[in-house]
Amino acid sequence: MTDFCQLPAHELVRLMSTGAVSCREVLTAHLARIDAVNPMLNALVEAADPEQCLRLADHADQCAARGDPLGKAHGLPVVVKDVMRVTGLTVSGGSPVLRAVANDDATAVSRLRAEGAIVLGLTNVPEMARGGESNNNLYGRTNNPYDLSRTPGGSSGGSAALVAAGGAALAVGSDGGGSIRQPCHNSGIAGLKPTHGRIPRTGSVYGDALGIFGPFVCYGPMARSVPDLFLGLSIMNGPDLQDPYAVPAPLGSPDEVDLATLRVATYLDDGTSPPSDEVAAVVSAAADALREVTAVVEHATPACLDRTMELLWNSVFLGGDRGRGFEEDLRAIGATDPSEELAEFLAQARKVEFSLTDARSRLVDIDTYRIEMLTFMADYDVIVGPAMPTPAKPHHHGLVEINDFSHLMAHNLTGWPAAVVRCGTSNDGLPIGVQVAARPWQDVTALAVVGHLEKAFGGWRPPVLNGG
């Protein structure tokens, strides 16, 4: 019997669109899967009304039976990270003080729904999305489906855990410092941080004017297969005349990318967080696999990578005012009892102080970093390297080990597309992902490369959950 909860999203859409299976069957299977695994994972924290979801599935089946035009995500069960508004659901951003019923959809969500997707609910995040694992005082902690004593990561950890465990076929995450890619690495699924500006971020729980964070935060797809990332990207892509950063850039298709012409740079150590032997071996194996199908694979490391954390984490995230501004914002909304990860963020912020003159200099340094990276890419089409220096860690190893995110944060600084796919397994049975970054707007190139790696190494593998 087919397990609908293990099939790729694009295959589910094909089966439902052709009438080989009904949308009700697929939805019922996913609702049952959530009932089985979510008590262990605590990944889905706000569930949509299951009867309403079934009515939507029945309507989708009726449309198919009548021969109506069907959307790209016809009947597809999806979940949304609890940082985006979803009409009728209680959104929170992981904070009790932000809990409110949304009266509209984020642009990315409305586009998925317009193509036939059925939203099953919202997934867990760290409070205010400030965290390396998805744990907050409102909903508690999300667990990794491959080892419940370990974290699926953050801040899109709830989405990654549920998709990996088969509770949804596709998720929408956000990524300002690795928050899509780290959970995908930890949870063994595929994820894409698109080129900054490709998907509108309109509809954030935290408001749409992100200030200094605006140039770094992206929304993106998370799924069990790389073709599903392109499915999600193709639906959410394009400006909405509301997000000031979203632009009308051509997308293309991964199928149009000629791997044989690509020049690949690969590195292991970025000067901040050298990978463990297990991770290094997986990244090296991925680079070797690409030697067989690409024009060039060379060991080369951008010289500026060792400045990543100082420029993005210290200068942008922590802010330079010893946390005073953020603490004032929190007090203004009544957020006076920070959860573990938010408390750690504040503790780090209180240690960083620099002047307005220094802040201006740091903004220049960020542009200099970007220019150096573009200069490096004159000789290459993609960079292949670690996503994280280790497999998923035990709980309570999030922001306290923030340097682990350095490989990922490099491409929040550049704004380039960066994808992660599972390419190996640790001795403890944990997934190990590899990151592939491409030139700006060449999202399909990154997807073509991780697609090849997925075929070479197998990609996602179902976790074994007791009782699930």
* Residue 160 contacts residue 187 (beta carbons within 8 Å): yes
3-state secondary structure of 381: coil
* Residue 159 contacts residue 222 (beta carbons within 8 Å): yes
Query: In angstroms, rounded to a whole number, what is the distance separating the alpha carbons of residues 352 and 341?
Result: 17
Q: Give me the residue label for tokens 């909903």.
A: 139
Query: In angstroms, rounded to a whole number, what is the distance separating the alpha carbons of residues 170 and 160?
Result: 9
User: Any catalytic annotation for residue 22?
Assistant: no
Q: DSSP for 388-452, please give it.
A: SSSSPPBTT-SGGGGGGGHHHHHHHHH---EEEEEEEE-TTS-EEEEEEEESTT-HHHHHHHHHH
Single out the catalytic residue among 72, 81, 193, 393. 81
Ranges of beta strands (E only) in 185-328 are 190-193, 218-223, 263-266, 296-299
Query: In angstroms, rounded to a whole number, what is the distance separating the alpha carbons of residues 122 and 387?
Result: 25
Q: Are strands 77-81 and 170-175 parallel, antiparallel or unpaired?
A: parallel
Enter the tokens of residue 360: 């201006």
* Residue 55 contacts residue 23 (beta carbons within 8 Å): no
Tell me how far the alpha carbon of residue 135 is from its chain's centroid: 17
Query: In angstroms, rounded to a whole number, what is the distance separating the alpha carbons of residues 398 and 142?
Result: 13
- Cis before 155? omega within 30: yes
Query: In angstroms, rounded to a whole number, what is the distance separating the alpha carbons of residues 116 and 389?
Result: 38
Query: In angstroms, rounded to a whole number, what is the distance separating the alpha carbons of residues 298 and 457?
Result: 21
Single out the catalytic residue among 95, 159, 179, 339. 179
Alpha-carbon dihedral 141, 146, 149, 155, rounded to 10 degrees: -30
User: Any catalytic annotation for residue 156?
Assistant: no
User: Any catalytic annotation for residue 174?
Assistant: no
Residue 335: partners with Cβ closer than 8 Å, 6 or more residues away = 95, 96, 97, 127, 128
Single out the catalytic residue among 17, 134, 155, 174. 155
Tell me how far the alpha carbon of residue 123 is from its chain's centroid: 12
The residues that are catalytic are 81, 155, 179
